[in-house]
Structure 1
Amino acid sequence: MAITAPPATSAKVQILSYHGNSFVTGLLWHPLGSLTGYMREARQFGREEKMDIVAIRRTESIIQAGFVSRSAGAVKGMYSLASALAGQLGESWIAAWRVSLDEDRYALVAVYEGAVIPGSDLVGTGDEIKRKVAQLLGRSISFEDTYLPLEFERGGKPLDVDELLHPRNLRREYRLRPLAFGLSNGEIARLSVIGTLVLITLIGWQQWGAHKARLAREAAIAAEQQRLAELEALNARAKQEQTLQALEHAWAKRPSVAEFIAGCNGSIDSIPLSISGWVFTSAQCDGDLVSATFKRTGNSTARGFIAASRAHFADEPAFFDEGNSAALKISLKLNLAGDESLVESSQALALLTSWLHGQNLEPTIKELPVQVPQPPALPGEPTPPAPPPPEWKHFELQYSSSLPPSIVLRGVPETGLRLREIKTQLQSDHLTWSVIGDLYAK
Structure 2
Amino acid sequence: PKRLFSLAAAVADSQRQPWLGIYKIADGLWWYIAVRDGQAILPDGDVIGGEAEIYAARERHSGFGDWTYVEGNLDDLSALVQGIKPSPVFALHGAPDGLLAAAALAIIVVVAGAGGLWWHAHQLAAQRARQLAMARIHALLEQQQVKKALPSPLLTTPLPDAWLAACDGAIENMPVSRDGWTAYRVSCVGDAASIVWWRMPGATTAVRPRGALSASGDKVFQSVPLALKHAAGRNNGQPLPAEESALFALLQGMGVKATIQSASSQPPASTLPGGKLAGKTALPAPQAQVHFTFPVAPFFVNWNAVPGFRITRVAMRADGWNVEGVLYGR
TM-score (norm 2): 0.48
